[in-house]
Amino acid sequence: MASAEVLLRAREISRHWGGLVAVDKVSIALQRGSVHAVIGTNGAGKSTLINILSGEIPASGGRVELLGQDVTGWTQPRRARAGLGRSYQRNTIYPSFTVLDNCRLAAQAHVQKPWAIFSPARDCAVSSAAARAAAARAGLDGLLEREAGLLSHGQKRQLEIAMCLATEPQVLLLDEPLAGMGAEETDRMLALLAELREGHAILLVEHDMDAVFRIADLITVMVNGAVIASDSPDAVRANPDVQSAYLGGH
Amino acid sequence: MDRSRILFVCGALAALALYPLVAGEYGLGLVAKTMIYAIAALSLELLVGTTGLVCFGQAAFFGIGAYGAVLLSSQSEPASLLWLLPACALSAAIYALMVGALSLRTRGVYFIMVTLAFAQMAYFVVHDTPLGGGTDGIYLSLKPAIGAWLDLGDPLTHYWFTLACLGAALALLARLLQSRFGRALAGIRVNEQRMRATGFSTYPYKLAAFTLSGAIAGVAGFLFAVQDGYVNPELFSWHLSGSLLIMIILGGIGHLRGALIGAFAFALLQELFQSEAVFGDYAKHWHLGLGLTIIASVALLPRGLVGVPQLLRDRLFGRSINALREQTHGER
């Protein structure tokens, strides 16, 4: 992985609300083919970091580069169309749409054609193909016509990933994809992430430490908005600062 | 859209088409007026039910369409429908574009208040300036026509033309909701944040919906002015915006046919409570009866009249998958 390609790079990004520093000069580089986990206690700034990277909130300082381009001033939709996909901590699926329609709506972002008001969305070949491929990849191919609101919790989380994939992003920012999952669902999701590692750069924010140490190639530890360590899982586990600050000193 | 809903709408339109065979003059005028409100309610449904934008200023677009019909007509000869109707729709659309461009920067209750404020502003412009003829309103003496073969001055012709506009508005919106544009609007209603994260710039989408809604409301206003041959500032008042909201709530938000059903239910209730034959002296206080009925229907039929068949089925055959769905969704 010596010459791994960096798809998303943040240089010293910060965010403060008045005197409160939520993210403090964080630099991070996401490489194709690797899962980069960000861990930290509640309020460490992990979600704010994702929000800045995806463009949902502006940074107070620093730069964000996507595929070698400076995207700091870009809006969130523009970054998304350029290849940045994100999932949310809570479910953001469209419950009254079918699984396929959920994915198709996401895939449609690349072929929006809002003026084509007499051509049904279902007839769009490009987005339908992308939607089917994404659903299959996320393990939902048997459930395409199921109404999304009727899926199990684990399936909803899978759909969340499928909708991300339907836009064919190169970078995935995943905010707690394992939240609320049982052991079996967690295994399935980790297998999916391992598969997605190929070809994508993945940022994973997650509270399930066992899962993080199983899947991550690199781990960044945040405390109070700042990075205190960024290294391989073994090195992070052995790092005394991390142990005292976060892992509980054992 | 499933077959039974298409059948219902086509059946309703067919019934409206046959109605002139049995109707008297009063009935014809009343149903034509109700169809006009239904068109305006449909335009509001596009915002509230589809896109999730609660607009409390729909009357302004309606009023502009109505005043356009009068102000743009000449005093000496009938204006041609071919340009007058598009001009009225366009005027309303332009105003909607301006209002939308500013108001769509706000959300939720602020959006409601800002749209109301813009409508009230329009109300006072026509009410207090010579432009709109002041409180007395203006008469439209020569009604628009197309040459000799289509004269909207004839009540029956006006009825047919209104019905055609209603059918066209329903067909347009039904197609639009199935299109990529319509799906994106639905996505914005459920979760705008997610739509942005997916790559949709949501503001232009909302602005386009708002403008189109204004144009459709403008057509309704045009038809209203032509039917009455008279416009006054009350067409801009918040009472109308509120009535249109009540119509779509009564019919069932989230369904095009809800706007249609709601407009007719509202008109029927109004006729009923205004009827001295039924209520005698109390007919003077018809607002009270209408209001209580609406409160009761909202309390008892949270999904509107559209939800009544489902409600009956649930009562008769136990809770269906749809009831389960309601529980699991938490949101529509």
- pLDDT tens sequence across B161-186: 999 999 999 999 999 999 999 999 99
Give the residue among A60, A69, A45, A79 at the shortest CA–CA distance from A12.
A60
Give the count of alpha carbons within 13 A of B71, CB side only.
17
Test A80 with B197 for CB contact under 8 angstroms. Answer: yes
- A162 Cα to chain B: minimum distance (Å): 12
Is residue B329 in a domain? no
CA A220 distance to own-chain centroid: 15
- pLDDT tens sequence across A179-222: 888 899 899 999 999 999 998 999 999 988 999 999 999 999 99
Give the count of alpha carbons within 13 A of B290, CB side only.
19
Q: What is the DSSP string of A199-236?
A: T-EEEEE-S-HHHHHHH-SEEEEEETTEEEEEE-HHHH
Q: B 313-332 residues with CB below 8 A of A?
A: 324-325, 328-332
| Model pLDDT, residue B168 | 97
Contact B229, B69 (CB under 8 A): no
- pLDDT tens sequence across B117-176: 999 999 999 998 887 778 888 898 888 888 888 889 899 999 999 999 999 999 999 999
Give the residue among A5, A24, A22, A7 at the shortest CA–CA distance from A62.
A24
Dist CA B270 CA B275 (whole Å): 8
Give the residue among A216, A222, A215, A213 at the shortest CA–CA distance from A241.
A222
Nearest Cα residue in chain A from B206: A114
Test A113 with B180 for CB contact under 8 angstroms. Answer: yes
* Mean per-residue pLDDT of chain B: 91
Pair type for strands A201-205 and A34-40: parallel
| Model pLDDT, residue A3 | 54
Look at the block and give the residue holding tokens 């066992």: A210
| Model pLDDT, residue B298 | 87
* pLDDT for residue B321 is more than 70: no
A171 phi, psi to nearest 5 deg? -115, 130
Q: Which residues of A touch B187 (CB under 8 A)?
A: 94, 105
Test A114 with B325 for CB contact under 8 angstroms. Answer: no
Dist CA A45 CA A42 (whole Å): 8
Which residues is A223 bridged to in the sheet?
Answer: A226
Q: Is A173 exposed, middle or buried (0-12, 13-18, 19+ CB in 10 A)?
A: buried
Contact B165, B260 (CB under 8 A): no
Test B200 with A109 for CB contact under 8 angstroms. Answer: yes
Dist CA B223 CA B306 (whole Å): 26
- pLDDT tens sequence across A117-130: 888 998 899 999 99
Is residue B98 in a domain? yes
Is residue B18 in a domain? yes
Dist CA B130 CA B9 (whole Å): 43
Choose the mutation target among B198, B303, B326, B329 for the interface with A, i.e. most A CBs under 10 Å.
B198
Is residue B318 in a domain? no
Choose the mutation target among B180, B303, B328 for the interface with A, i.e. most A CBs under 10 Å.
B180
C-alpha distances (whole Å) from B131 to each of A26, A86, B127, B138, B233 are: 60, 53, 9, 10, 11
Test B199 with A119 for CB contact under 8 angstroms. Answer: no
Test A149 with B178 for CB contact under 8 angstroms. Answer: no
A130 phi, psi to nearest 5 deg? -65, -40
Dist CA B285 CA B279 (whole Å): 9
Dist CA B291 CA B249 (whole Å): 13
| Model pLDDT, residue B28 | 95
| Model pLDDT, residue A247 | 59
Torsion sign, CA atoms B177, B179, B185, B188: positive
- DSSP letter at A120 equals B
Closest Cβ–Cβ partner in A104, A120, A147 for B325: A147
| Banded model confidence at residue A41, pLDDT cuts 50, 70, 90 | confident
Q: In terms of pLDDT, which residue wins out, A50 or B312?
A: A50
Longest CA pairwise span in chain B (Å): 66
**pTM recorded for the entire structure:** 0.91
The structural domains of chain A, ordered by start, are 1-83+169-250 (3.40.50.300), 95-168 (no CATH)
How many domains, in total, are found in chain B?
1
Dist CA A231 CA A244 (whole Å): 16
Number of residues written out for chain B: 332
Is residue B284 in a domain? yes
Dist CA B230 CA B301 (whole Å): 37
- pLDDT tens sequence across B70-125: 999 888 888 889 999 999 999 999 999 999 999 999 998 999 999 999 999 999 99
Measured at the CA of A193, the angle between CA A188 and CA A196, to 5 degrees, comes to 130
Is residue B139 in a domain? yes
Structure-block tokens of residue B6: 């298409």
* Mean per-residue pLDDT of chain A: 91
Give the residue among B104, B92, B85, B94 at the shortest CA–CA distance from B206.
B104
Is residue B327 in a domain? no
CA B162 distance to own-chain centroid: 13
Is residue B237 in a domain? yes
Residue B141 belongs to domain spanning = 3-300
CATH number, residue B184: 1.10.3470
* pLDDT for residue A1 is more than 80: no
Closest Cβ–Cβ partner in B197, B328, B332 for A86: B197
Structure-block tokens of residue B157: 């012709």
Structure-block tokens of residue B239: 């009472």
